[in-house]
């Protein structure tokens, strides 16, 4: 059960980080925020390895593992998160979130094709139930709706959201393959650190190329603290927990469990913001819980 709880812990981490990001993103652009959180988090993770005398673990990783980790970071945190921002901007939260949260279904395909995992009927039903429940919960939030726009713009936003889900699923499958070769807690940590380092370097160089200087990434102290805390919780601890879960349970089980973030986000808003519990939210929550149970029991 440790692997299942690790994947569930990842979902909880991503819920907490969303709250931490919210304030900073009102003042900082998504690109700058992503650069600061990734660069800051990678520095902290490297420092932690050096502090315990384990920096050599990174050097001990094979070339294949290093490639998979770097590619996972660039595709997931770089490309995937950028497409996600574009989908949010184009079609809004209520439409983008349920589409992007279908990434477990794509992950099941990659796990079957490339990792050779056996997909049981229970896992398939559980993954489908989780995605369906998330869709119900997300569509119940109608506070942010899209104004009238042409169909081409809507279609473009949907394409962005679908591509986000595909990018995230590919990224997850890559880190799964990398971790499967390591089979240790220290190496799983190192794989996640390399993953974040790769996208940090890419984002920093992109900023230099497009803006001419890193000074344009200047962020206020309070916002920087929020972004760093969110980065440590989400891409530091959260992604590490997901990577660790891959060493204990199949990707086809871990990914659907980790995709329950919207459920916890909804529960957090109900608890702390006292939002009304609608029939859709209640139904969606029940469906998600049922999906988690099916994946756990398989």
Rounded to 10 deg, the angle between the 2-24 and 261-272 helix axes is: 60
What mean pLDDT comes out for the span 186-190? 84
Of these ranges, 133-137, 162-166, 219-223, 256-260, the one predicted with the greatest mean pLDDT is 162-166
C-alpha span between 118 and 123 (Å, rounded):
10
Residue 75 has pLDDT above 90, yes or no: yes
Kindly tell me if the per-residue pLDDT of 212 is higher than 90.
no
pLDDT at 106: 82
User: What dihedral angle (degrees, nearest 10) is formed by the CA atoms of 158, 155, 163, 208?
Assistant: -100
Q: How far apart are CA 44 and CA 59, in angstroms?
A: 18
Task: List the domain boundaries for the chain.
Answer: 2-297
pLDDT at 72 over 90: yes
The C-alpha atoms of residue 253 and residue 104 are separated, in whole angstroms, by: 9
Q: Highest-confidence range of 145-149, 161-165, 217-221, by mean pLDDT?
A: 161-165
Mean pLDDT for all residues in the chain: 78
Flag the least confident range among 7-21, 88-102, 163-177, 214-228. Answer: 88-102
pLDDT of residue 170: 92
Q: Decide if pLDDT at 213 tops 60.
A: no
pLDDT category at 198 given cuts 50, 70, 90 is very high
Q: Which tokens in the block code for residue 91?
A: 């079609």
Within 8 A by CB and 6+ apart from 1, the residues are 296
Report how far residue 41's alpha carbon sits from residue 235's, in angstroms, rounded to the nearest whole number.
8
C-alpha 224/C-alpha 26 separation (Å) is 13
Distance between start and end Cα atoms, the chain: 11
Q: What is the pLDDT of residues 81-137, one digit of tens each?
A: 778 877 776 766 556 766 777 787 787 778 777 767 777 888 788 878 877 877 776
φ/ψ bin of 112: left (φ > 0), alpha (ψ from -120 to 50), beta (otherwise): alpha
Taking a C-beta distance cutoff of 8 angstroms, is the pair 14, 198 a contact?
no
pLDDT at 153: 72
pLDDT band at 30 (very low <50, low <70, confident <90, very high): confident
- As given in the structure block, the two tokens for residue 18 are 């969303």
Q: What angle do CA 240, 230, 188 make, to 5 degrees?
A: 10
Reported confidence tier of residue 240, pLDDT bands at 50, 70, 90: confident
**Three-class DSSP category at 29:** coil
Place 288 in a pLDDT band, splitting at 50, 70 and 90. confident
pTM: 0.73
Counting residues of the chain whose pLDDT is more than 90, the rounded percentage is: 12
3-class DSSP assignment, residue 163: helix
Query: What is the Cα–Cα distance from 98 to 107, expressed in whole angstroms?
Result: 16
Higher pLDDT, residue 119 or 215: 119
- Beta strands, E only, the chain: none
What pLDDT does residue 183 have? 61
The residue with greater pLDDT, 83 or 276, is: 83
DSSP string spanning 30-87?
A: HHHHHHHHHHHHHHHHHHHHHHTT-THHHHTS-HHHHHHHHHHHIIIIIIIHHHHHHH
pLDDT of amino acid 281? 67
Spell out the residues 6+ positions from residue 99 whose beta carbon is closer than 8 angstroms to its own.
87, 158, 161, 162, 164, 165
Q: Which pLDDT tens digit goes with each residue over 58-70?
A: 888 889 999 999 9
């Amino acid at each position: 059960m440790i692997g299942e709880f690790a994947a569930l812990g990842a979902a909880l981490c991503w819920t907490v980080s969303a709250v931490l990001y919210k304030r900073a993103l009102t003042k900082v652009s998504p690109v700058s925020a992503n650069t600061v959180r990734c660069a800051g988090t990678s520095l902290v993770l490297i420092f932690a390895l050096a502090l315990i005398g384990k920096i050599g673990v990174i050097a001990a990783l094979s070339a294949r593992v290093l490639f998979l980790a770097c590619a996972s970071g660039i595709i997931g945190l770089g490309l995937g998160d950028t497409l996600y921002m574009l989908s949010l901007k184009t079609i809004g939260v209520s439409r983008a979130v349920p589409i992007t949260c279908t990434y477990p279904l794509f992950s099941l395909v990659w796990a079957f094709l490339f990792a050779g995992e056996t997909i049981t009927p229970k896992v398939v039903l559980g993954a489908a139930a989780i995605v369906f429940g998330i869709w119900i919960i997300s569509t119940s939030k109608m506070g942010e709706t899209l104004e009238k726009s042409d169909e081409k713009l809507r279609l473009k936003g949907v394409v962005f959201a679908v591509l986000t889900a595909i990018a995230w699923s590919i990224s997850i499958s890559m880190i799964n393959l990398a971790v499967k070769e390591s089979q240790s807690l220290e190496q799983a940590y190192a794989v996640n650190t390399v993953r974040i380092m790769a996208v940090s370097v890419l984002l920093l160089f992109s900023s230099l190329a497009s803006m001419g200087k890193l000074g344009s990434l200047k962020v206020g102290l309070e916002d920087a603290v929020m972004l760093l805390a969110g980065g440590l919780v989400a891409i530091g601890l959260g992604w590490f927990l997901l990577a660790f879960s891959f060493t204990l349970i199949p990707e086809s089980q871990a990914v659907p469990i980790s995709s329950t973030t919207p459920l916890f986000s909804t529960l957090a808003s109900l608890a702390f913001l006292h939002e009304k519990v609608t029939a859709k939210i209640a139904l969606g929550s029940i469906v998600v819980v049922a999906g988690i149970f099916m994946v756990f029991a398989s």
